[in-house]
Amino acid sequence: MHAIAWSTAGPAIGSAFVASLVEFVEAFTIVLAVATLRGWRPALSGTFAALGVLGLLIAILGPLIGRVPLHLLQFVVGVLLLLFGMGWLRKAILRAAGVLPLHDEMAAFAAETAELTEEARRHKTSMDWIAGLAAFKAVLLEGIEVIFIVLAVGAGRGLLGWAALGALAACIPVLAVGAILRRPLAQVPENTLKFVVGVMLSGFGVFWTGEALGIDWPGGDLVLFALAAIFLATGLVMVGVLRRPQAEAAR
Amino acid sequence: MTILRDVAGMLFGMFMADRALSGAVLCLVGLVGIAIKAAGLHPLYGGAALIVGCVGIIAIVTMNEARRRRG
User: Per-residue pLDDT tens for A120-139?
Assistant: 677 656 677 788 888 898 89
Report yes or no on B22 lying in a domain.
Answer: yes
Contacts of B29 in chain A (CB under 8 A): 79, 82, 209
At A10 the three-state DSSP class reads helix
* C-alpha closest to that of A170 among A151, A189, A152, A146: A146
Chain B residue with minimum CA distance to A82? B25
Q: Does the interface predicted TM-score (ipTM) exceed 0.85? A: yes
**Which residue among B3, B11, B25 places its CB closest to the CB of A82?**
B25
Report yes or no on B3 lying in a domain.
Answer: no
Number of compact structural domains in chain B: 1
Q: Are A16 and A139 in contact (CB under 8 A)?
A: no
Chain B residue with minimum CA distance to A249? B70
Q: Identity (one letter) of the amino acid at B44?
A: L
Report yes or no on B9 lying in a domain.
Answer: no
Contacts of B6 in chain A (CB under 8 A): 137, 141
| pLDDT at site B24 | 96
Report yes or no on B29 lying in a domain.
Answer: yes
The mean pLDDT of A235-248, rounded to a whole number, is 85
pTM: 0.83
Report yes or no on B66 lying in a domain.
Answer: yes
Give the containing element (helix H, strand E) for A138: helix A127-154
Domain ranges of chain A: 7-244
Report yes or no on B57 lying in a domain.
Answer: yes
**Distance, CA of B62 to CA of B54 (rounded, Å):** 12
**Distance, CA of A51 to CA of A27 (rounded, Å):** 12
The mean pLDDT of A184-189, rounded to a whole number, is 73
Q: Are B9 and A77 in contact (CB under 8 A)?
A: no
The answer to whether A141 contacts B6, with C-beta atoms less than 8 Å apart, is yes
Domain extent for B24 = 17-70
- Interface with chain A: mutation pick from B50, B64, B69, B70, highest number of A CBs within 10 Å: B50
- List the single range of A115-119, A167-171, B64-68 with lowest mean pLDDT: A115-119
Report yes or no on B1 lying in a domain.
Answer: no
Report yes or no on B5 lying in a domain.
Answer: no
